[in-house]
Amino acid sequence: MLYIGSHVGFNKNSQILGSLEEALSYGATTFMFYTGAPQNTVRSKIDLEKVKKTKEKMQELNLDYTKLIVHAPYIINLANNQEEEKYQFSISFLKQEIKRCEQLEVYNLVLHPGSHVGLGKEKGIHNIIQALNQVLKDSKVTILLETMAGKGTEIGSTIEEIQEIIQGVENKDCIGICLDTCHLNDAGYDLSKFDDLLDEIDRKIGLHYVKCIHINDSKNPIQAHKDRHENIGFGTIGFDLLLKIIYHKKLENIPKILETPYVDRIFPPYKYEIDMIRKKKMNFNLIDQIKNS
């Protein structure tokens, strides 16, 4: 089965059951969500009854609950400890987020490694490793480090940086990687040589660490260090390359998650993009169709 889905909402009333409903309306077989707004730390109590219902519903539909993904809020920054209070806040919030994932029974948590904000890469990486070793001590959840575009002082835009962090993490069962196609492109990786990239990841880290892929086209050329996502087939990566990644034999059972922009900031494109991916055929009228739907 192709595990394809998108980022979906999560609200305090319908919770994960509402997230599933949204995903199903797009024809998705998996999904990713934030347990609250991505830019803040307001979080509601997890409703265990909704978790149970979601598991039952997915079982009925023959969908695999273990493929679901949570994304940690991006205000967590484990790389910068210039202000001890903020660093400790990031660590304790991440610990709470892991607890929420355990209650949700979603065991894959995507995390941006962090930005060093002037401390330098080495110090930043050291801070990330220290923090991860604290939060992963008795975790049932695997943290997936996302490959970043290299915007500003972001860490994790090279395979070597991800490798260095993973090498420093003691609990290797609870660490993994989330590839993001837009970020890889913007970081300088040529996705037309994707097989070479997979070989490099396998050599330096191990391909089995890759547990999620964010599928996004990019608004910018390779190595732009920008991080602006584009709709599938409308960016610089293009439909054919993204399709090759989505259907790659070595990545067969890994969930693929779309984080492409809403059309005119209002219309979610995911139903149309998923349809295009299933049909393996580019739809150049996609944007107009979405606007007129």
The single-letter DSSP state of residue 162 is H
**Which CA distances in Å does 283 have to 197, 234, 245, 293?**
28, 10, 18, 15
The 3-state DSSP composition of the chain as helix, strand, coil percent (nearest 5) reads: 45, 15, 40
Q: How far is the CB of 289 from Fe ion (least distance, A)?
A: 25
Q: Which does 97 bind (CB under 5 to 8 A by kind): Zn ion, Fe ion, none?
A: none
Q: Which of these ranges, 7-15, 112-120, 226-234, 237-245, lies near Zn ion under the rule CB under 5 A? A: 226-234
Q: Which of residues 99-158 bind Fe ion (CB under 5 A)?
A: 146
CB nearer to Fe ion: pick between 116 and 214: 214
Q: Which does 22 bind (CB under 5 to 8 A by kind): Zn ion, Fe ion, none?
A: none
Q: How far is the CB of 259 from Fe ion (least distance, A)?
A: 5
Q: Which of 7, 126, 214, 219 binds Fe ion (CB under 5 A)?
A: 214
Q: Which does 227 bind (CB under 5 to 8 A by kind): Zn ion, Fe ion, none?
A: Zn ion
Tokens found for residue 179: 């590839």
Q: Which of these ranges, 106-114, 122-130, 219-227, 235-243, lies near Zn ion under the rule CB under 5 A? A: 219-227
* Amino acid, res. 257: I
Q: Which does 214 bind (CB under 5 to 8 A by kind): Fe ion, Zn ion, none?
A: Fe ion
CB nearer to Fe ion: pick between 105 and 180: 180
Q: Which of residues 259-288 bind Fe ion (CB under 5 A)?
A: none
Count of other CB atoms within 10 angstroms of residue 266: 8
Q: How far is the CB of 201 from Fe ion (least distance, A)?
A: 16
Tell me if 273 contacts Zn ion by CB under 5 A: no
Is residue 180 within 8 A of residue 145, CB to CB? The reply is: no
Tell me if 180 contacts Fe ion by CB under 5 A: yes
CB nearer to Zn ion: pick between 154 and 227: 227
**Rounded to whole angstroms, how far apart are CA atoms 71 and 106?**
11
**Rounded to whole angstroms, how far apart are CA atoms 142 and 134?**
13
**Who's near 266: CB < 8 A, 6+ residues apart?**
none
CB nearer to Fe ion: pick between 214 and 219: 214
Is residue 75 within 8 A of residue 39, CB to CB? The reply is: yes
Q: Which of 80, 227, 232, 235 binds Zn ion (CB under 5 A)?
A: 227
CB nearer to Zn ion: pick between 187 and 246: 187
Tell me if 186 contacts Zn ion by CB under 5 A: no
Number of residues forming the site for Fe ion (CB under 5 A): 3
Is residue 273 within 8 A of residue 231, CB to CB? The reply is: yes
Is residue 214 within 8 A of residue 266, CB to CB? The reply is: no
Give the residue ranges of DSSP H helices in 61-144: 84-104, 121-135
CB nearer to Zn ion: pick between 70 and 136: 70
CB nearer to Fe ion: pick between 213 and 263: 213
Is residue 211 within 8 A of residue 176, CB to CB? The reply is: yes
**Rounded to whole angstroms, how far apart are CA atoms 5 and 28?**
5
Q: What is the binding site for Fe ion (CB under 5 A)?
A: 146, 180, 214
Q: What is the binding site for Zn ion (CB under 5 A)?
A: 227
